Structure 1
């Protein structure tokens, strides 16, 4: 008997089902979601406060929304808006062109080029943009003539604005581009070198497309910041959007509605730029982890 028992071992007992452990009412149990009463109460309170604030803005006659509608699309305001958009686009293109050059110099193994790039970024990031604009606006006190041309005639308010904003933005663009280049894995560059690709082709075909994933988000923030930052050029009498509405309310004394005109236009343009930034980010994020 013992031999038969060893030859034919008995099968282990069947495990008890989970329902049998839970009792006869186990089939009627259901999962109940956690009630987040505090969060919903806070959300309702926030919505109520927002509704009250919006109602006070709309129904307050001091905002003079009818005046805002009258001046929103006037020729003077649209000319100022056009100059603001043109100045923003030009400064961003020139700033990133110079910033890319500075980033390449910063990553160079040549100590002199590295030091020059670092010094430029340090200088223009250490001084306020308003101080830089006023300095360039008064450059004639230091150099009355450049190449035989009087600086008063050479550097008008718009030219000063372009120069000052471009040099300022280039310092920040250099750090954005440098960070994007450093985000590319070293193995990608070594693989391109092993294929015999030249330095320019490696940068254009391998480094830059991958670096754009890290460059686009801060570059989009810089673009929106530059758009709003152009309002500072009104201090040197450049007729941008803010200066245009200032000319109007200095004549009509309707300060609040004219400032609302500029505010709404800035909000509209920045919203459109944010949508464009989102689309570009999705384009360069294709194939990366966490994206569809």
Structure 2
């Protein structure tokens, strides 16, 4: 029988049991995590970092000026908790209104109308050029500039009048000042995110004759969120910390609550530590939420999602323990014929 007439079943000999075991061992060795040898520089730098951390914690625990008993007494007191809740709802309200107004200002900046472009640019320029404290003081003293607020048509008759002092309290002035200030930065973040969408995506949507609203919701917004979320998360954390400046208007936020307490007992440092720890806890919680939101919106861009902290711990512990039945325990057997 010639080679051309050889049947297909006789082209390759059947594999032996040793070959099958060897292939399985190779697959197991490729899938098993690689154990890296510890590097001397990494171990030394890690030991120095842990030593400095232990020294700092020891000095903080032994420092009598911190007065940890005073810290523990007022950390969860009713006055401090009320101030914390005021800070949280003020931050949430400012961010919600700033996102809405910032989207409007961003659309005005991107529009083809030169008047809208100019107005949006002037707004962003003014509120980014002046300090936040000045804006809060102007909002608090708006009654001197506009004594009365009237309801009616512009340049026409008015229906009623009301004194500005009765409407704009310290809390309302803080809310208005923070919102106007944050809107200027939110609008630039949203505008940058919209402009980061490739032009080819919009051209493809126009070819498909999609409506402008559908294009924005289905195409522009999901891709723009990947660029918007990191900067917007930073703006949220910065807004939370910026609410501490409203204490100059006697708004009962977290910092103002601790100031009232240490003005009575003169324990300045322990009460400031109370405010510091609460701000740190809230910002840490916001950072965790930001991580998972960014991870969700990056599903279409990354083939593999970044691991969560829990997944990283599981991987680290899995590398410590040798896998059962790994390639290192495989001993190939020699089949004697």
- Shorter-chain TM-score category? 0.7 to 0.9
- State the match for 2:58 in structure 1: 55
Q: Label 1:35 to 1:82 Cα distance change in 2 as closer, same or farther (>3 A).
A: closer
Q: Note the C-alpha offset of 1:289.
A: 3.5
Which 4+ residue blocks in structure 1 deviate beyond 2 angstroms? 33-47, 289-292
* Count of aligned residue pairs for this structure pair: 260
Q: Label 1:114 to 1:291 Cα distance change in 2 as closer, same or farther (>3 A).
A: farther
TM, length-normalised to structure 2: 0.74
- Give 2:279's match in structure 1, choosing from 261, 266, 290: 266
- The CA distance in 2 between the partners of 1:167 and 1:72, in whole Å, is 32
- Give 2:123's match in structure 1, choosing from 103, 120, 123: 120
- The CA distance in 1 between the partners of 2:210 and 2:303, in whole Å, is 31
- Give 2:172's match in structure 1, choosing from 159, 164, 167: 159
Asked if 2 retains the 8 angstrom alpha-carbon contact of 1:84 and 1:230, the reply is yes
Worse-matched range after superposition: 233-242 or 148-157: 148-157
Q: Note the C-alpha offset of 1:40.
A: 3.8
Q: Is residue 2:143 matched to residue 1:140?
A: yes
Worse-matched range after superposition: 252-261 or 162-171: 252-261
Deviations 1:241-275 (A, max 9, x none): 00011111111111111111111111111110000
- The CA distance in 2 between the partners of 1:46 and 1:69, in whole Å, is 28
Q: Note the C-alpha offset of 1:36.
A: 5.1
Asked if 2 retains the 8 angstrom alpha-carbon contact of 1:285 and 1:291, the reply is no
TM, length-normalised to structure 1: 0.85
Q: Is residue 2:102 matched to residue 1:99?
A: yes
SS of the residue corresponding to residue 149 of structure 1 reads strand
- The CA distance in 2 between the partners of 1:56 and 1:256, in whole Å, is 15
Structure with the higher helix share, 1 or 2: 1
- State the match for 1:228 in structure 2: 241
Worse-matched range after superposition: 107-116 or 43-52: 43-52
Show structure 2 runs of 5+ residues with no match.
1-35, 151-160, 306-337
SS of the residue corresponding to residue 178 of structure 2 reads helix
Q: Note the C-alpha offset of 1:37.
A: 4.0
CA RMSD of aligned residues (A): 1.5
- The CA distance in 2 between the partners of 1:253 and 1:100, in whole Å, is 46
Q: Note the C-alpha offset of 1:190.
A: 1.4
- State the match for 2:195 in structure 1: 182
- State the match for 1:191 in structure 2: 204
Q: Note the C-alpha offset of 1:42.
A: 3.6
SS of the residue corresponding to residue 249 of structure 1 reads helix
Q: Note the C-alpha offset of 1:47.
A: 2.4
- The CA distance in 1 between the partners of 2:298 and 2:40, in whole Å, is 37
Q: Note the C-alpha offset of 1:290.
A: 6.1
Q: Label 1:187 to 1:260 Cα distance change in 2 as closer, same or farther (>3 A).
A: same
- The CA distance in 2 between the partners of 1:290 and 1:52, in whole Å, is 43
Q: Is residue 2:215 matched to residue 1:212?
A: no
Show structure 1 runs of 5+ residues with no match.
1-32
- The CA distance in 1 between the partners of 2:177 and 2:73, in whole Å, is 34
